[in-house]
Structures are given as structure tokens and as C-alpha cells.
Structure 1
């Protein structure tokens, strides 16, 4: 027996060692998986950093409303949207600030978990209750957010209030619960201007809300005197959301509760999008195609089919934008004659026509190969052009080239359009007739940029008498571009 045990012992020892090693590896694996789940709660500023995602697993159907009955106590009504059910760890990562005020253009907040809206006399309020497991260590904070895409524009602000354990009683009780996310944004500001309507609201609203695929509610502040905006751009707003725009300021006693809520619009640049910072890499080409689809304009055909209305043997169609007051063409008849002599079919549109019916304007512009206009809001209609079309921007006198490139030139290129800048000579400005060639307004524009009066002269006081002979080579260049 003893001899037998002496023979078996080495094998038994090896077996025990193997069992011990296996047990140790099993414990290590369980520990690793538990720690991993601990950090599976999604950060609150995902959209601020440019990512997207639904965060809605296990939620009611999109748009479903539920009553406030049969709910857990305040602060425990809505679980963290993406927390995993298998998490066993009791230590949680610190709660990120829900608001980011660091961008030079816009302020923004994003909340996951329990966000509640309440209308106020002067400002609407959004309350955020941190997840229950973080409530004990959360610190109360308050932000006042201009929920448009420009900090410098005066709009009705939204108060965002993140609560802690001692201020939990401030949160109003839910009267409407929504399973879809929401975006709070402001109307008003400079949006009575056509370009600002797109640059300050519609483009950044696309950047902020498009990734939700229509399953998002749009909550507008300052909408009391802006019902016209919602009606005018109804096709764009309905393409972004399947639901009616909510006038948040007029909600009265209604308290809307969301598991994912964004306050503010992400406006990266003037009338432009930075794809590196936008969800899904959205850019101005995506915006132009989105807007065209919203107005039921033809989708781009697959290559190598032509994307422009003009066909071989027909005249290309050119739309001339006519401004009504400042920077207007004072010799529009001569300009139209020159365009026709250059071999174009010419159509005219008063800039004010954009206010009448955006859909009608969209169809007119879609039928054109070229859009020509002086630097101004009417050139915003380039969003309705087809791929490969040409935008000719007439740049007024007074070192206006940087504005022309920033407001329209770069956005046009990012939309898949061709942009041509025609910079007028001093003699083509009515300022030359009024002040003479030796006046600083003609001879030294820098004087007026230094004293801050450049807008008075170059934006508001001057009109344009286009030299059609000087302009003719530009028209011929555009024709060559269309044949390429």
C-alpha cells in the first residue's frame, strides 16, 4: 500500500495543482467580468462629444406615453438608460457634468436617465435627477442655456438644474412620460433673416437631431411669437421628427419626462457642419440631400448620369437673385440681357420670394444649373440646387471676400456645389458714385474696419452696378464648368 501511494502521489500532486490553477483562473475571470459591467453605464455627454446611439433598450414603443400612476418613488422612476442588468458592483464612475459651456459658439447639455421639463413665466426649466446609485454623491448645479447655436444671440434661455439628494424635492412630478429622446432649442434671435434661419437653427438642428432617425421630440422655447417659423419650415421639421413641435413655454402644468434629453443646438460653423464633430459624420452634403428629400426634390441619380437639369443641346438655366434693398443690382435689366447673350436661359427671383413659399422656391431652384446673386440671404437657396450646380456670388466692395467665402463659398463646396466669386471693382459700387474715388470708403476700407463702421457702409449702404463687359468672362467660365 505504501509503495502504491508513493507511486501515485506525484500524479495526485500534479492533479491538485491543475485544479488549483483552474480555480484561480475562474475566480479571476469572474472578477474581471464584474468590474467590466460596473463601467457599462454610458456617459452623459455622448452627443456633445459627437457620438450617437439610441440608449433605449427595453423602453416602450417610440412615442408611447404613460401615466404617472404605479411608479417608484421620486428619483427612482427611470433607471439609467444603458445600465446593464447583470451589474453587481457597488462602485460607480463619477457623474459627468451634463452641460458643456466650453465651445466658443454654443452651450449644450445632455441628460441620460431622468430629465423633466417645466414651463416658467420667464424661462422654462429642465430638471435632471442623477441615477439612484450616484445621487448620494452628486452635487447640485444650475446652468442658464441659450439653446440656439450662437451664444451671442439674445434668445429665451432655458434653466438646466441638476439635483442632489437634498434638492430632490424641487423636481416636479411627471404628467407625461415619453419613450423617445427630446431636443430643446430656441426660436427667435436673428431667424427672421433667411440665412440665419438655416445657419442658426435648421443646420444645427439637423446636426443635433438627425441621428435619432425621426424618433425624437422637438421642444421649442420662444415659440410664442414664432409660429410662422414652424409653419414656414414645416417640411424640414417634420423630416427631423415624427411629432409636432412642442411649444415648451406654453406647456402650463404639463411636466414631460424623458430618459434622454438634449438642450441646445450644435452649431459648428456659419451655415456649415464639421463632420469630425457631428454624429455619423454628417456634413453639408448630407444636409443638402436631406433638405431636398424633405421638399420632395429628385434624389441624385447614380453616376455617370448627369445630375443637372440641362441636357445636351439645350441652354443651361440660370437663376438671378434680386435683392430688394441693400446690395441690390441697380442695372438688373442690363445684367439679364448679358446673361442671355452668354447663352443662358435666365430666370429671376426676388429675394423676398423665399418668404412666400419655400417649397415653390425649392422647385424653381432645383430646375436651375446656376444661381447668381450678390452676397446676401438669397444665396441660402443653394441648398435646393442639384449636385454639380454652380453658385456665382457677387462680392461687394469693401474687403468682403472673407465673409463671402465663410458664409457661402466654403458651405457650397461642402454641399457638392461649385462656387465662383466675382469681386466687383470700386467703380461697380454705388459708394464710388456717392463718395468719389479718393474717399477712404473707397481708397482705404481698413479705416472703417478699425472703427467698427464697416457694416454701415459696405453691408447696408452700397448697391451694385454690375459691369456686364467685365462680368462676361465669368459667365463663359461657368458655361465651361457645366460642360465638365
Structure 2
């Protein structure tokens, strides 16, 4: 048997076969890859075509769901690990979200609206008749509330990432396309309204646009959502319908958004109204003029002035004396009868209802948050107009040339209204002070305000004065009736009272175009000096009294203290005021 041996020079007889096999495999794989690539490319084209047709045929929501939902239809987990259901506010199958506090409208091209939640604390406005439009024109996109902001039902804080951005862009595209479609983009779920804003530290407020039904006998306001927005759950809020949300004297009103079944059984309207309504309370700390204005009248001005009288007041805990005293203001803000809400047995239906009163601060207005950028000066001029007082361009009486020529001497002395308080912080030497003011060169008008004063007459008396003078207290609230450049002279009691005096009266006076002068009494001018002695902490260390709690400062400096003014020490302040009036 002959055996042939292979040498390196001899080619192997198996090499051509192996090469051929590899070539066949390579070709086969290449064809396979081409086939797969072709299939994927075709599938991608089909998907693009489907997306294009869906966007134009009204299936944008289906595309969003196809991109974002997992295979399980009832529950899915998003890119952040949050588990939500398709009907929850987190689900992208609905562009409607409900937050227990604040809402913001996303406006479509065809005029339809969807709500998306904004962060708690924003004072979101969406009133009719131009009310509360101060947030407009600030460069905010109607979609900027979608970026990283979710309802407070979210269990985890939002994290901005690429996946969220994609979802937001898809939602934005869907909303942009809504104007070309006939179907609504609102799904069944939590209703849009009412939106109750409970975030402000001073007040709570609810607003209903749509089918609002008021039932005063049980202090309830119902919202009946449109059929397409009715969900399975009702929503209830209980708020104090005034500007001080934590004041226990104010009874609560219930605002309820009805679910689908309750909407069917909602009580029918006994009367229908074409104008909006505002539900608010007249009780609380009212009967004190400062609180009348700070807690009710200024907040009511903020909430209703922009309606130009086309609004009706439903007043809970109505106080007849308040209506009588401020009738001119109330009837100017509303052309319609005031309804005693607690005694109203019917079901009134309105297209828009506001429950509660907005308030920015004590006796103040923040123009940045006010409708039409109202200021406290606007309010003072409005009050003067209501009471038919001279307009803003008329100078103070002291500089009225016609009145000056009418005097016997040809020279007119500035008129000072000297107000004395009836109980606390009163001037114990009132007659001596009045004589000193007259000796300084003023015509003195001494006043001890009474509750039976008619504002219509009293406002004209205040308007005739160049100076309003009194101890820190509610009587100074009459500065709303002074003319521009008139002077408010505030006597500041003992006990580090400069700050509250400035906050409650001095600052507001300056905001209204008045001149503010403050005279801080010495310890010896306080009756506390004689009552407790010069070594008592109330005299030697007022700050130690305040540090024990507000009730201690209230006891000594607001309630127990009266004032015995040193007219000699006070004289330079009076000369300062006369000089200011002459400038």
C-alpha cells in the first residue's frame, strides 16, 4: 500500500471545498440581512404612514398610548418606575388632570380647553369678563406647565429626562393637531372644575365655569360637569368664604364637583342667571372699620371690580348693618340684588361662580397679582368716586384758591381732623391736644367716631380736611377719603409699636399718594407708666413682653394703654406737618 505524504509545496485537496462553503454561507447571511433590513425598513415606513394618517384622522391619542403603554392594558409602569392606571391623572390617555388646589388651561385653536395641573402656590387666574388677567403677557408658553410638573397625586418627585421630553412633545403635537379635528380631546375622568385653590396662606378660593348651582340653605355649591367630563368620583372642598381662611368665626361653605351618577340626579334650577356670582361672608372681625376694609371691601374689590357691576353677590352670614353702612360700595360693585345665601331656599344656576375672596395682605394690594394691575391708589380713587368726592386732580383744601379768597382774612388755615378713640389707646388729655393743634396754626375739627355715622356724610367731612390725626387704630382707616397729598399724622403708642403702625397705616398711606407722618410717644406719655411704674418690663423692656407671645403685647400695648400726649414735645411735629402742606 503506497502512502502519499503532503509537503508544504503541495496544495491541500480540501481547501477549495471549504472556501466554497464559506462563500455560500456568506451569501446566504447577506441575503438574510437584506431581507431583515428590508422588512424593518418597510415596517418603519408603514408605522410612519400610520402615524401620519392617525394624526390627521383623529387618532393622536392612540399613537401616544402605543408609544407609552405596556402590554397590560389596566396598569402600566412609566419610564420613571411609577405605576399608574389608564384612568389616573398620570395616564397619557387623557389630557385632563385634577389637582386639589390649582389649575391652568391649555387653549386649543378651536377654542376648546383642557386643564393641566400647575405647581401649588401659583395664583392661577381664568375668570370671565377680564377678571384676574395679571398673569397674561409674561411670555409663558401654554405648554410650559407640562415640563416636569405633575399633580400632587404623584408618589415621587418628577425627574426630567429624554423619555419625559418625548412624551411631552407627543402631547404637544396632539394638542396642536386638535384644531383640525372634530372630536374632543377630553376623556372620562376627573372633571376640570371647580378648581379650589387652597395654597395661599391668607385665603381659599374656588371657581366654577360652566353649570354651577348654588343651594344656600345647606351652604353648598354644586358643579355639574359636561357629559364628556363626568368621572366616577366626586370631589368636595370645604372652605371659609372670606379672606381669612383660619378665622374660626367664619363658617364654611361646601363646594362639590359631581360624578356621573350624581350629575344625573342633580337638583334642577329654580332660577337661571346670565351673570357670574360671588359667594362671600360678611362675618369674622367685621364691625371694626379697619377689618371691614381689609378683610371684605378690598378683597371684594379685587375679586369683582373687573366685572364692571355685572356680577351678583351671594352673602353667607349676611350682616344687615354692613349692607346698610357700605351700601354705596356694594351697589356699585354689583348692579344686582344682594342674596342672603343662608336663607336662600332655591337652586340658583350661574355660568360662573367664585367662592371666597382673594386678599394679598393686610389693607393692601399687590399690583402684580391683581386683575388689571390694580393698586391701593386705584382703590382709594375708586372709593372717592363712589362717594362723589372731588376727582384726583383737585388739590388739597388748604391750597384751594377759591376757598382761600372766600375767607375774611384772605388766608386759610389748614384743617386737621383730630380723632379720639372711644376705649383703648384714647387720648386722655384730648381737649389739651386740640388746643395745642389750634395754637400751632390749624383749624381743628375734633371727632370721636360713632357707629351711627353715615359714611356718605362723614366722607365729605374727611375730604374737607388737609390732615387726619389720631392714635394708631381703626379711626385712621378714614384716610381713604383724603385727597392726594393730604397728611395722615399717626401717633404711635409706647411698646415698639412702630412696625405695626407702618405696616397697617403708614405704608398703605404712602401707596395711596398720601403723606405719612408718625409721632412715637415717650414712655412717660403712656398711661402704662403710671399704672405699672417706671421699672416694669412693659416700660423698660417692651421687647421682652413681645417675646412672651402676641397675647402679652396685645394686653399691654393695644388694650390697656391710653395716651397722655406731651403737647410741648409734640409741637415740632405739628410744625413739620404745616411745612409739608405749604410745599
Q: Same fold (TM over 0.5)?
A: yes
Does the 8 A contact of 2:420 with 2:448 survive in 1?
A: yes
Partner of residue 348 from structure 1, selected from 446, 449, 473: 446
- The whole-number CA distance in structure 2 between the counterparts of 1:249 and 1:263 is 14
For structure 1, list consecutive stretches of 5 or more residues without a partner in the other structure. Answer: 1-23, 57-83
Does the 8 A contact of 1:310 with 1:317 survive in 2?
A: no
- The whole-number CA distance in structure 2 between the counterparts of 1:44 and 1:213 is 30
How far residue 356 of structure 1 moved from its aligned partner, in angstroms, is: 2.2
Alignment of 1:62-81 (within 5 A): none
Does the 8 A contact of 1:112 with 1:261 survive in 2?
A: yes
Partner of residue 257 from structure 2, selected from 158, 162, 180: 162
Partner of residue 306 from structure 1, selected from 395, 402, 411: 395
Structure 1 residues 430, 416: closer, same or farther in 2, change over 3 A? same
- The whole-number CA distance in structure 1 between the counterparts of 2:243 and 2:117 is 17
Alignment of 1:257-276 (within 5 A): 257-276=349-368
**TM-score, normalised relative to structure 1:** 0.81
| Per-residue deviation, residues 108-164 of structure 1 (Å, max 9, x unmatched) | 0011001100023xx41000112333224x742111110110012221211101111
User: Which is bigger in relative contact order (C-alpha 8 A, separation at least 6)?
Assistant: 1
| Per-residue deviation, residues 384-432 of structure 1 (Å, max 9, x unmatched) | 1111111111111111112111111111112111111111111110001
Secondary structure of 2:113's aligned partner = coil
- The whole-number CA distance in structure 1 between the counterparts of 2:130 and 2:441 is 56
- The whole-number CA distance in structure 2 between the counterparts of 1:405 and 1:364 is 25
Aligned to 1:466: 565
Secondary structure of 2:242's aligned partner = coil
- The whole-number CA distance in structure 2 between the counterparts of 1:86 and 1:271 is 49
Aligned to 2:425: 327
Aligned to 1:364: 461
Aligned to 1:247: 340
Structure 1 residues 164, 51: closer, same or farther in 2, change over 3 A? closer
- Is the radius of gyration larger for structure 1 or structure 2? 2
Aligned to 1:483: 582
| Per-residue deviation, residues 331-385 of structure 1 (Å, max 9, x unmatched) | 1111111111111111011132x54211111011010111001011100100111
Does the 8 A contact of 1:150 with 1:200 survive in 2?
A: yes
For structure 2, list consecutive stretches of 5 or more residues without a partner in the other structure. Answer: 1-51, 61-106, 132-177, 402-410
Partner of residue 240 from structure 2, selected from 142, 146, 155: 146
Partner of residue 197 from structure 2, selected from 100, 103, 106: 100
Q: How many residues align?
A: 420
Aligned to 1:404: 501
How far residue 43 of structure 1 moved from its aligned partner, in angstroms, is: 6.0
Aligned to 2:266: 171
**TM-score, normalised relative to structure 2:** 0.68
- The whole-number CA distance in structure 2 between the counterparts of 1:124 and 1:263 is 11
**Larger displacement relative to structure 2 (439-448 or 37-46):** 37-46
Does the 8 A contact of 2:203 with 2:358 survive in 1?
A: yes
Alignment of 1:391-470 (within 5 A): 391-452=488-549, 453-470=552-569
Output the aligned Cα RMSD: 2.8
